[in-house]
Every structure is written in structure tokens, then in C-alpha cells.
């Protein structure tokens, strides 16, 4: 057991898998010698050699394509897309190829790749270093989408993703790399070393994909969140003084719908929180499924708290970010309704 922040936990997951499985390879822009712009791969090239951990040309589509080829060969490539905002050049290879290969080949070929990418705002990254594009991947059958909210999960989920025989998109909310961020940008950041979920086992362990975690039990209202918003939701619930049951989805596809349904049937109310833009965000799908499966139990309309349907403006970062105050207001509204 060691104290790790999310960067270290993610690094440790790759370290463990590079050690356990000769087929694991890690590559991407600046991930080799330098160890990644967020340092997630620091030290790995030195430890495992530059044939297994290496830098790549600045071509996200080429990174994905070659990863697919390596996956077909039998390796387990773990690639980094430097920012989620830059995953779009790789979209075709992900959607048309990685996601469809097993299906179209009748099960003969597949690409067990893991695509890691830092997502989300709150670091003054402006409109091209702050995006949360997870929803579009959840629309693509054949892909799995994972977003951890803390170091323990990050490591266990990343190991499970690397071992998974399907392509997994693994988004890392960069705002919580160093500590759980509750949305109070004017307060000092508490590091993960001061948080119980910063206690991370050293060796191998997995957290199964497709399983949500109830981070706070409650009876009054169900809050669905993932990534940074898990922490913001907790702060918002505290501010509202509402006995919220807060669910960290962890995996968006496949979704742990049973956990969600059980909770909403218990509470009768639901708030969904994400940082991504609202229209056709993953909140829409969550809302749809909840109303499909819990209609008779709902006592108030479900409410979404999301990023606005605009790019993420540099100077208005905190007006854009869906912080605890907005969560609080949503909770109070749902409790009234």
C-alpha cells in the first residue's frame, strides 16, 4: 500500500501490466523519454526499454491505427492521446475500425487497445485543453468508456481496461490528477495523500469494468456523476444539506444500470452531473434510461447539471464549470418538485 496521486496510480497500472504481460506496449506523443506532458508514463521507458514504451509522431489517427495493427498481432497497446480535445483525428480509426473489427470479421480479429486521455477543464486550458467528449464514444457500439474519479479506481480500472479484449477509451479528468477537486477553485487543493482513496495497493489488482460505486449512501435523491463531478456532487450535496445517494458510474459503457435503478427506485429523485456540454451529453442517455426504468417511482423531474452548450472559454472557466452551487440548486429543485 502506498500513497499515490492519480498520475502515480495510472503510472503504476501501466508499470504492473508492462511487468506482467510482455505484450503490453505503451506509446504516444511525448510519452517515451520524457514520460508524458502530465508525467503519467514517467520512468517506464527506462524500465522497459524503448521498444515497449516509446514516443510517437503527432498523428492521433496514426497512433490509433498502428495500435489496432499491434492489437491484431496479439499485443496490448496502451496509447495516450495528449488531450481528449485531440482525439478527433483518431475518431475514424476508433469508430470505424477498433469498434467494429471483431464484429465484421465474425470474431476472428480484434483490437484489445486502451486509449488513455486527459479530459475536462478547470486548469485554465481554454477551449482546446478542457473538453469532455465521452458522450460521442458512448454512442459507438463496440467501445467501452471508462472515467475514474480517484487513484484507487484509476489503477484498478486501468488494469482491467488493459486486460480487456475490447477497445476501451479511458478518460482521466486532469483536474483531479493531484487531488480531489470539489469545485472550489479559490480554496487550496487537498492532495490525494490526504484522502483515503489515495491509498493504493502497490501490485496487481483490478476493478471490474461496468460496475458503479456508491460513494455516499442516501435516501432523499440519487446523484449520478463520474470523474471530477463525483467530488463536486459531494460538495453540492453537502451544501444543500440533502441526504443524497451519490453514485460514481466509473464505466459509462457498459453501464451499471442495476445499481442506478435500485437507487432511484429507493430515492424517487435523480440529479445527473457532468462537465460535458449538455445537448446529447451522456446525461441525456442516463436520464432516458432512468425514466424508462423508474418512471413510476419518480417524484420529480430528473435534472441535469452540465457544462453549457458552448466551447470552454478561457477567461470564464469558472462560470462554465458546473460547480457545487449549481449542483446544490439542482438538488433543492428536485427535492421541491
Partner 1 sequence: MSQTSALRLHVPEPKARPGEATDFSGLVIPAAGVLKRPPIDEPDHSMRDYAFGMIRVLDEAGAAVGEWDPKLTPEMLKAGLRYMLTTRTYDERMMRVQRQGKTSFYMKCTGEEAVAVAQAMALDRGDMLFPSYRQQGLLIAREHSLVDMMCQVYNNTKDRLKGRQLPVMYSSKDSGFFSISGNLGTQFPQAVGWAMASAIKGDTRIAASWVGDGTTAEADFHYALTFATVYQAPVVLNVVNNQWAISTFQGFAGGEQTTFAARAIGYGLPGLRVDGNDFLAVYAATKWAADRARNNLGPTLIELYTYRAAPHSTSDDPSAYRPDDEFKRWPLGDPIERLKQHMERIGIWSEAEHTALLAQVDDDVRAAQKEAEGYGTLGVKPASAASMFEDVYKDVPQHLIRQRQELGV
Minimum CB distance to a second copy, residue 114 (Å)? 20
> Considering only residues 33, 43, 219, 337, which one is a binding residue for partner 1 as defined by CB under 8 A?
33
**Nearer to ligand TPP (CB atom), residue 36 or residue 323:** 36
How far apart are alpha carbons 324 and 41 in whole angstroms?
A: 32
With H, G, I as helix, E, B as strand and everything else as coil, classify residue 291. Answer: helix
Residue 177 touches a second copy, criterion: CB under 8 A: no
CB contact at 8 A, 6 and 154: yes
How far apart are alpha carbons 71 and 65 in whole angstroms?
A: 10
Mark whether 139 is an active-site residue.
no
Comparing C-alpha atoms, which of 230, 105, 79, 89 is closest to residue 169?
Answer: 79
Residue 47 touches a second copy, criterion: CB under 8 A: no
Stretch that binds a second copy, among 6-14, 66-74, 243-251, 293-301 (CB under 8 A): 293-301
> Considering only residues 2, 58, 96, 219, which one is a binding residue for a second copy as defined by CB under 8 A?
96
Residue 288 touches a second copy, criterion: CB under 8 A: yes
**Nearer to a second copy (CB atom), residue 205 or residue 308:** 308
Residue 176 touches partner 1, criterion: CB under 8 A: no
Write the DSSP symbol of residue 236: H
- Site residues, ligand TPP (CB under 6 A): 29, 58, 82, 86, 89
Residue 304 touches partner 1, criterion: CB under 8 A: no
DSSP per residue, 119-183: E--SSS-GGGS----HHHHHTSTT-EEE---SHHHHHHHHHHHHH-SS-EEEEEEGGGSSS---S
Stretch that binds partner 1, among 7-15, 200-208, 237-245, 309-317 (CB under 8 A): 309-317
Query: Of ligand TPP, a second copy, partner 1, none, which one sits near residue 189, judging by CB under 5 to 8 A according to partner kind?
Result: none
Name the β-bridge partners of 27: 54, 79
How far apart are alpha carbons 105 and 99 in whole angstroms?
A: 12
CB contact at 8 A, 28 and 56: yes
Query: Of ligand TPP, a second copy, partner 1, none, which one sits near residue 135, judging by CB under 5 to 8 A according to partner kind?
Result: a second copy
> Considering only residues 86, 184, 204, 205, which one is a binding residue for partner 1 as defined by CB under 8 A?
86
Question: Helices 282-294 and 257-267 meet at what angle, rounded to 10?
Answer: 60
**Nearer to ligand TPP (CB atom), residue 57 or residue 196:** 57
Comparing C-alpha atoms, which of 222, 215, 226, 247 is closest to residue 300?
Answer: 222
Which residues bind to a second copy, rule: CB under 8 A? 85, 88-89, 91-92, 95-96, 100, 103-104, 127-128, 135-136, 138-139, 141-142, 253, 276-277, 279-285, 287-288, 291-292, 295, 298, 300-304, 309-311, 337
| Residues with a known catalytic role | 129
Amino acid at each position: 500500500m502506498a500513497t499515490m496521486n492519480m498520475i502515480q496510480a495510472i503510472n503504476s497500472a501501466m508499470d504492473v501490466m508492462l511487468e506482467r504481460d510482455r505484450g503490453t506496449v505503451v506509446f504516444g506523443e511525448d510519452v517515451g523519454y520524457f514520460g508524458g506532458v502530465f508525467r503519467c508514463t514517467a520512468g517506464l521507458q527506462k524500465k522497459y526499454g524503448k521498444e515497449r514504451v516509446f514516443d510517437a509522431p503527432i498523428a492521433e489517427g496514426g497512433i490509433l491505427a498502428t495500435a489496432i495493427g499491434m492489437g491484431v498481432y496479439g499485443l496490448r497497446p496502451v496509447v495516450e492521446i495528449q488531450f481528449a480535445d485531440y482525439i478527433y483525428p483518431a475518431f475514424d480509426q476508433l469508430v470505424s475500425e477498433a469498434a467494429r473489427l471483431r464484429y465484421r470479421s465474425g470474431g476472428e480479429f480484434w483490437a484489445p487497445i486502451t486509449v488513455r486521455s486527459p479530459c475536462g477543464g478547470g486548469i485554465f486550458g481554454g477551449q482546446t485543453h478542457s473538453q469532455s467528449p465521452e458522450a460521442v464514444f458512448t454512442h459507438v457500439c463496440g467501445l467501452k468508456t471508462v472515467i475514474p474519479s480517484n487513484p484507487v479506481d484509476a489503477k484498478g480500472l486501468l488494469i482491467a481496461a488493459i486486460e480487456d479484449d475490447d477497445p476501451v477509451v479511458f478518460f482521466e479528468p486532469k483536474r483531479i490528477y493531484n487531488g480531489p477537486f470539489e469545485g472550489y477553485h479559490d480554496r487550496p487543493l487537498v492532495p490525494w495523500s490526504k484522502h483515503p482513496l489515495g491509498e493504493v495497493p502497490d501490485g496487481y489488482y483490478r476493478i471490474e469494468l461496468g460496475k458503479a460505486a456508491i460513494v455516499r449512501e442516501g435516501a432523499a435523491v440519487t446523484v449520478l456523476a463520474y470523474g471530477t463531478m463525483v467530488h463536486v456532487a459531494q460538495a453540492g450535496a453537502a451544501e444543500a444539506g440533502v441526504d443524497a445517494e451519490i453514485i460514481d458510474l466509473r464505466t459509462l459503457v457498459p453501464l451499471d444500470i442495476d445499481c442506478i435503478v435500485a437507487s432511484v427506485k429507493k430515492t424517487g429523485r435523480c440529479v445527473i452531473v457532468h462537465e460535458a456540454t449538455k445537448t446529447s451529453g451522456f446525461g441525456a442517455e442516463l436520464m432516458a434510461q432512468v425514466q424508462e426504468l423508474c418512471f413510476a417511482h419518480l417524484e420529480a423531474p430528473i435534472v441535469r447539471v452540465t457544462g453549457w452548450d458552448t466551447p470552454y472559454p478561457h477567461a470564464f472557466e469558472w462560470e462554465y464549470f458546473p460547480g457545487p452551487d449549481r449542483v446544490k440548486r439542482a438538488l433543492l429543485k428536485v427535492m421541491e418538485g
